[in-house]
Structure 1
C-alpha cells in the first residue's frame, strides 16, 4: 500500500530548498570553516516552495573522513533557535536513526510527512557525536546557525548555543509536489546567495523573486565568491553545473549571474582578471550545456563593482571587460532571456559603480533594496514553461 510519502500519479519529488556548498580547505576564505565534536547543529532552512512531504539531503562532499550523523530531526522553526515542538520529527536513513556518510559522499533521508509551503522556515538539527574535521559548508548564507554541546536535537531550544553565520552538511530539501511544478535554479555568486542583505531577514534577491511568483519557485544555488571559469571560491560554474543546476529535480530554468569574481577576485591574489573573450566563451559553453539538457537559461548582465573596497578587485582592465561582456550579453541570441541587473542598480552618473542608496556597504554587493531591484529586473513571463 502506498503512503503519503511515496510518489503517485500526479505528484513527484522536486527541489524545495537548495544551498551551494564549498570545501573548507580552499586557499581563499571569506568565512572561516569549522568542525564539530559531540555537538548539535541547528540550521534554519527557508523553503522556496512546498509539498505534502519532504526529504533532506546531506553532504560530506569535501570531507576527508567519514561523517557520522548520530541523530537528525526536522521541525518548523518558531523563532531563533526554537522549534515548534508538535512539528518535530526524527529523520531516518534507510530506516536507521544514524548514518555514516563516507568522505566525498552524500545521504538522503527517508521521506517524512511534514507538509510545508513557500516561506516555511524549517529547523534541521544534526547531532555530530565524533570529531568531524572541517565541515563541507555554505559559507555566506546570511542565516544564523546554532551549535550547542551534546545531543539536543529534540530540545525545543538551544539556550547558550554558539551563533554561526554558515550552514553545514546540508545541500537541500526535496518536497513531494504536483507534477509539472516549474523549478528555476538561481545559479551564481554572492548576488544570489545574498551577501549585503540583512542577515536572518530573507531579503536575498532570490527571496524577493520568489515573492513575485504565483506558480513554481526559484531555489538558490548562489555561492559568494564563485567564478564562471576558475575554482576557488567553490568549484567553477562549468564544473558544478550538472550537480547544482541541471540535475536539480524539477528544474526547468537556470538563472545565471557570474563574472564579477572572474574580473575582480584575481586581483586579491595579484593575478590578471579574466578577459572578455574568456568570459564570453565560458557563458557560451554554459548556455550550450543548459540547452542540451532541455532547460532554458536566463542570463544577468554583470553588476557594477568599481567601488569595491577590497584591494585589487576593481581595476580598469576588469571594468572594461565587464562593459564589453555586458554589451555582448544584451545583444546575443544565445540566451532565452536576459535580465539587465547592471542597468537596474548602477549609478546613472557613473555606471561602473552601484547606485549609492543600493550599496551594501562595500561597493561590491547590494543591500536589501538593491536585492529587490535585482529580482524586479527579471521578466516573470520568461520563467513560464
Structure 2
C-alpha cells in the first residue's frame, strides 16, 4: 500500500466503483476501443451526482433471526447512503441490484415514500405483536435526502400514534429535526437514539465519512437529546486501528460531559466488497500506514491461527480477539470508569401498543 492512487475522488468515501462481482455485476476488460481512452478524448469525468430512485415495496418491516443482535425487526426507508462512510458494512447490499458497493452505493440511492403507510397496515393486522423496531441498521435514516423525503419522520409519526417502540442509529445531527416527536416518544418510553462518533478530527471525518455531520455536530446533538429527555447512546463505531482509536478516550469524556450515560464501541468490520474498498481508501489517504492497519485488523479477526479481513460468524463478529482487541477493550473500560459512563440498557415499553387506524389517518385524541 506504499503507492498512492491518483486521483483522489473528492467528496466521496469510496475511491472507485470497483469491487469483486458476486451477483452478476457487470465487469469489463480493456480491449483497446474508445472506452479505454474516454478521458483523453472527452476530458475528465464530470462531478459525481447523487440520483434517487423511488421504489414501492409491498412490505417495509424486515425480520431477522440473528442470535447475536438485540432486535428482530427493522425498517430501512432508503437503500444506499450518501454519507459515503468507506467502512460501511451495508455497502455489499448494493451488489444485489447489480450496482457497485463502491461509488454506486453512495450516489445511486433508493427511497421508499410509502414506508409509513406500509408500516401502518402491518401494525394494524390482528396477528401483529409489537417489539422494538430498529432504524438505521443498514443505511442511515437521517442521510441528506431525508430533508426532502421526510420518510423517517412519517414512520416516527406512525410509531407515536400506535405507541410502538423504536430505536434509531445515525451519524447525523439531522435527527434533531424530529426532536418534537422523539421527546413525545421518550415520555412514553418508546424510543432510544444512538449517534455514532468515529473521530473528533473533522478533516479525518471528511475522508472517512465525507457527507456525514461533523463530529462536533454529532456530539452537540447527543447533548440536545439528553436535554430533551431522549435516551441517548454514544456509539464509538467503528474503531479503526491506528486511524481512529486514538480518539476513544476523549469521545467518551466529551459525551459524558454532555450528560450521556451510555456508550459502546464496535470494531471495524470488512465483509465482502468492503475489504477491497477499504484497502483502496487506505492506499489513497494513508499509504504509509495501510499495511499496519490491515495487519491489526487481520489479527483481531483471526480464527484458528489465521488472520482474516472479516469474521462473519455469529457471536464473534462483534467481539474481536487477541492482544490489540484486549487493549482497546481495557482502554474503553477505563475511559468509561473515569467519565462515570456505562452501557445503560434502555428498556422500551411494548405494553402501550394500540393498533393504528388504517387509511392514513392519525388519531386526533
| TM-score normalised over the length of structure 2 | 0.35
| TM-score normalised over the length of structure 1 | 0.34
- The structure richer in strand per residue is 1
Higher relative contact order (Cα pairs below 8 Å, separated by 6+ residues)? 2
- The structure richer in helix per residue is 2
Max Rg structure: 2
